[in-house]
Structure 1
Amino acid sequence: MARVTVSKKACTVNPLKMSQPIGGALAFMGVSGCMPVLHGSQGCTSFGLVLFVRHFKEAIPLQTTAMNEVATILGGLENIEQAILNIVKRARPSVIGICSTGVTETKGDDVDGYLQLVRRRHPELDDLGIVYVSTPDFKDAFQDGFGKTVTRLIQSFVPGSVASRRAPQKINILAGCHLTPGDIDELRDIIESFGLEPTFLPDLSGSLDGHIPEDFTPTTLGGVTKEEIAAMGGAAFTIAIGEQMRAAATELERRAGVPFELFERLTGLAPNDEFVALLSRLSGRPVPAKYRRQRGQLVDAMLDGHFHFGGKRIAIGAEPDLLFSISQWLTEMGAEIVTAVTTTQSPLLEKIMTEEVLIGDLEDLEARATGCDLLITHSHGRQASERLQIPLYRMGLPMFDRIGAAHDLSVGYRGTRDLIFRMGNMFIDRIPEPTPETWRSADAGQDGTALATATDTPLTNAH
């Protein structure tokens, strides 16, 4: 078991983590017709907007309550009310998702009370879904804000009563923030192959998968609707992916009696065996031949790749769920996790196969990564990679110096197989190209005499 420690530095030098409200805003972007709003200053929203635009290379719907010095002191009721009315007038969303920020949390704004007053003053907003999440950015991190928002969406839209009848083919998928839109698309294909009907919450594959809509919309382009969220209480089962989704799955079970199973990761052979076995039990169908073949391809890729992964020293900096998923898979491939740095507490951290997991920043990662064969983190690790002369494999958010980040695939048999190929090829690229001098030294013994070659050995009957 790993020892979990917290950096005691006076300040963060090169940040690894992103804030809770950014994570909450991303979760809201997986809801159809939603307008995420950060309750804080314009700068908070501008930062998040730039980060998402650079990562997804898409137009991002994100608004602000534009708190200034006076509003911060006196309270944000007027700002929230005006922001909601302006958004309804201009964008006509079906859901407005509000995330708090550090400045309004420090002031102590009673946003839930504000929203009750706004609804009393404006009965025309009765059909509008308004969801508020407390996400102070002076504590916790990106995946905490994401998980809290999913839980709050369930509390806001799923009726608090156990369904008398359940749809046996409908299942809920609570997708953690470490899953890309491409990962969600892959999981949907797998689940539907068993004849099941999945509802993803949130569903980033519908809103941030890079498709071009027929008409411009100021809100999210797609995702799960609030009606579909409400119907999640009538599903037969819930599959939660990532420890960050445990609270949401527990809340859904408490409110509607939907049983759940949590998968800590879906990268690797064993967790995907368990995943497809569960789908087979839920559907009553055998595993499709396509996935039996993909499993065989993954096993073959593991055999081909373990020569290149074995003994490699890896340094990883990522959110806890992504860190656990990739580090456990790398350990299974024969690599050694020398350095593991993360952003926030999680029960998974102690399970990681390394001596220490540090809650710190990219400076801590760089200081501990000397002599490693590969650095894994998001795009802000590129300077450390250059200084250390270690190749960087980009994972997580933000990934702003590459295109196609939304379609990166690392789950399922196929995603794990392709991850082996991509990362294994990076190890191969580090092997120096042979030169005439190295060939001559390889072909000669220490005394300068030629070594025996295959042609010097008489051919014999193999039988």
Structure 2
Amino acid sequence: MTVKRFVKPVSVNPLTVGPSLGGVLAVQGCYRAIALLHGAQGCAAFSKSLLTRHFRDTIAVQTSALQEMDVIFDADRNLEEALNLVIAKHRPDLIVVIGTELTDVSGTDYSAFIRKYTREQASRGCLIIPVILPDFNGSLELGYSAVVEGIVDAVIQGQGGRAPGKPAAGQINLLPGSCLTPGDVMELKEIISDFGFEVITIPDLSTSLSGHLLTGFSPLTRGGAPLDDLKQMLRSRYTIAIGASMERPARRLQNAACIPYQVFSGIHGLCATDELLAFLQQLSGVSVPLRYRWQRENLLDSMLDAHFHYAGSSAVAALEPDHVLSMAAWLKEMGVMIKGLVAPCETQLLKEAEQEVWIGDLDDAETLGKGADLWISNCHGRKGAARIRASFLAAGFPVSDELGSYVNVSVGYRGAMDLVNRVGNMLIRREEARHEDRLCQ
């Protein structure tokens, strides 16, 4: 398979979302945690703004607020002041210090400083993790995965690579990828639990950014996996990673605690869900619960009802690497011709993919998608879809112009059925509009 690039001097309507923002997103899935962006104040403001507009909820993030002279003379001083303030005022269980292009280009060794700071301030009882994520390398998916890997590494080191107790035969680690909404994560947790397993999810956005109402304001995350759960993951029987980008943290657990893992590169559609449930059935020795058998029948019936409208249609998708290939597999399952797949950065999964994938922006998606019936991307692609007269399905990050996108479920049989019907209705409306245009001419 070939990964291709458009040759042009600038990015037009960029698709890339910075990895530091992906890192901040991952931190939101840990309880009483906060992300500390080591850089200029605007770096934190940008991440906080985009995440708040997408989830319509408070986001736990702070900044070391570097100025030009701080970078030149002593960036560590700002970081120390920020850490002292956050710990003294909020007493978090977990702080993830995320670098930005400002600190990484200047050569600031904040990882060494944090190791020194942790040794000197060990009595404060807060886990502090540095993650290097310059914004000029990778995208949201890479940053999200790197922070999860950093958290796993820190927990392993803190426990000396040993589980805090006897192995738990009925416990499963779930590592959901960045392409999953809080609603998707909740659905996966329920599916795995129905096979008799206790699930530890890292990060768990389903209990932190799912739109719940809590009184009062807290600068720390108010949901997600507690630090005690993070330690207990070393006792688990198995690790399930959703998305190829989550294989590295899963491998860390295997190497340190001998916990085997299974990676599901795709999770959208009938075949992907069949694969997941077959694996859970084999792992647990429990038959697939009746509710999922009925959901599968419902999905097959929906696919049969919709195939008249999907037949002969075409699509273009511009999403994060894991997400774009997972959606491409579902489109192929529905008989949709793919005009173009666009991702913001190159990954090993894309290199091994059967489909042709372009590394580029939303302008490239517009070029590839001329004549397409369906466009799938974040909300920044809506105008591009209108220009090529394609139906628009908002997916990925950010989706700031629709309500409830963060609780949409597109995984499992139930999620796949909803996806089939949603897109099918869009194709029906598009065909009706085309007929009306012909009558008016």
The TM-score bracket by the shorter chain reads: over 0.9
**Greater Cα shift, 84-93 or 141-150:** 84-93
Match of 1:144 in 2: 142
Q: How far apart are 1:274 and its partner, in Å?
A: 1.8
Amino acid in structure 2 at the alignment position of 1:172: N
- Mapped to 1, the partners of 2:333 and 2:149 lie a distance apart of 32
Is the CA contact 1:328–1:352 (under 8 Å) kept in the aligned structure 2?
no
Cα gap change, 1:129 to 1:388, in 2 (>3 Å)? same
Match of 1:260 in 2: 261
Deviation per residue, 1:429-456 (Å, 9 max, x gap): 01226989999xxxxxxxxxxxxxxxxx
Match of 1:395 in 2: 395
- Mapped to 2, the partners of 1:436 and 1:283 lie a distance apart of 54
Amino acid in structure 1 at the alignment position of 2:221: T
Deviation per residue, 1:232-287 (Å, 9 max, x gap): 11100000000000111111100111000110111111221121122222222111
**Is 2:273 aligned against 1:275?**
no
Q: Percent identity?
A: 37
Residue pairs, 1:103-122, within 5 angstroms: 103-122=102-121
Is the CA contact 2:268–2:326 (under 8 Å) kept in the aligned structure 1?
yes
Residue pairs, 1:134-283, within 5 angstroms: 134-158=132-156, 159-161=160-162, 165-283=166-284
Is the CA contact 1:162–1:255 (under 8 Å) kept in the aligned structure 2?
no
Cα gap change, 1:304 to 1:348, in 2 (>3 Å)? farther
Match of 1:367 in 2: 367
Aligned residue for 1:430, secondary structure, equals helix
- Mapped to 2, the partners of 1:313 and 1:363 lie a distance apart of 18
Q: How far apart are 1:101 and its partner, in Å?
A: 0.5
Deviation per residue, 1:4-45 (Å, 9 max, x gap): 012332221211010111111101110100011111100111
Is the CA contact 1:375–1:392 (under 8 Å) kept in the aligned structure 2?
yes
- Mapped to 2, the partners of 1:57 and 1:436 lie a distance apart of 37
Aligned residue for 1:265, secondary structure, equals coil
- Mapped to 2, the partners of 1:409 and 1:361 lie a distance apart of 26
Aligned residue for 2:338, secondary structure, equals strand
Residue pairs, 1:115-130, within 5 angstroms: 115-125=114-124, 127-130=125-128
Q: How far apart are 1:162 and its partner, in Å?
A: 6.5
Match of 1:304 in 2: 305
- Mapped to 2, the partners of 1:313 and 1:434 lie a distance apart of 15
Is the CA contact 2:118–2:128 (under 8 Å) kept in the aligned structure 1?
no
- Mapped to 1, the partners of 2:180 and 2:435 lie a distance apart of 43
Amino acid in structure 1 at the alignment position of 2:128: I
Deviation per residue, 1:62-87 (Å, 9 max, x gap): 11010110111123211111111111
Q: How far apart are 1:353 and its partner, in Å?
A: 5.3
- Mapped to 2, the partners of 1:12 and 1:89 lie a distance apart of 43
- Mapped to 2, the partners of 1:195 and 1:162 lie a distance apart of 22
Match of 1:319 in 2: 320
Q: How far apart are 1:293 and its partner, in Å?
A: 0.5
**Is 2:347 aligned against 1:346?**
yes
Aligned residue for 1:8, secondary structure, equals coil
TM-score by length of 1: 0.91
- Mapped to 2, the partners of 1:74 and 1:435 lie a distance apart of 67
Q: How far apart are 1:123 and its partner, in Å?
A: 4.2
Q: How far apart are 1:122 and its partner, in Å?
A: 3.1
Amino acid in structure 1 at the alignment position of 2:195: F
Aligned residue for 1:97, secondary structure, equals strand
Is the CA contact 2:312–2:335 (under 8 Å) kept in the aligned structure 1?
yes
Deviation per residue, 1:208-235 (Å, 9 max, x gap): 0010114432200110012111111110
Aligned residue for 1:423, secondary structure, equals helix
- Mapped to 2, the partners of 1:61 and 1:303 lie a distance apart of 45
Amino acid in structure 2 at the alignment position of 1:422: R
Aligned residue for 1:5, secondary structure, equals strand
Is the CA contact 2:163–2:232 (under 8 Å) kept in the aligned structure 1?
no
Unaligned runs of 5+ in 1: 440-463
Match of 1:425 in 2: 425
Is the CA contact 2:373–2:389 (under 8 Å) kept in the aligned structure 1?
no
Is the CA contact 2:292–2:413 (under 8 Å) kept in the aligned structure 1?
yes
Cα gap change, 1:245 to 1:120, in 2 (>3 Å)? closer
Is the CA contact 1:267–1:329 (under 8 Å) kept in the aligned structure 2?
yes
Is the CA contact 2:19–2:142 (under 8 Å) kept in the aligned structure 1?
yes
Q: How far apart are 1:94 and its partner, in Å?
A: 0.7
**Greater Cα shift, 2-11 or 68-77:** 2-11
Amino acid in structure 2 at the alignment position of 1:12: S
Cα gap change, 1:353 to 1:221, in 2 (>3 Å)? same
Match of 1:287 in 2: 288
Is the CA contact 2:35–2:96 (under 8 Å) kept in the aligned structure 1?
yes
Is the CA contact 2:55–2:209 (under 8 Å) kept in the aligned structure 1?
yes
Aligned residue for 2:281, secondary structure, equals helix
Unaligned runs of 5+ in 2: none
- Mapped to 1, the partners of 2:434 and 2:225 lie a distance apart of 54
Q: How far apart are 1:413 and its partner, in Å?
A: 0.6
- Mapped to 2, the partners of 1:350 and 1:373 lie a distance apart of 27
Cα gap change, 1:240 to 1:86, in 2 (>3 Å)? same
Q: How far apart are 1:115 and its partner, in Å?
A: 1.1
Aligned residue for 2:256, secondary structure, equals helix
RMSD value over aligned CA atoms?
1.9
Q: How far apart are 1:89 and its partner, in Å?
A: 2.1
Aligned residue for 1:432, secondary structure, equals helix
Aligned residue for 2:431, secondary structure, equals coil
Is the CA contact 1:180–1:407 (under 8 Å) kept in the aligned structure 2?
yes
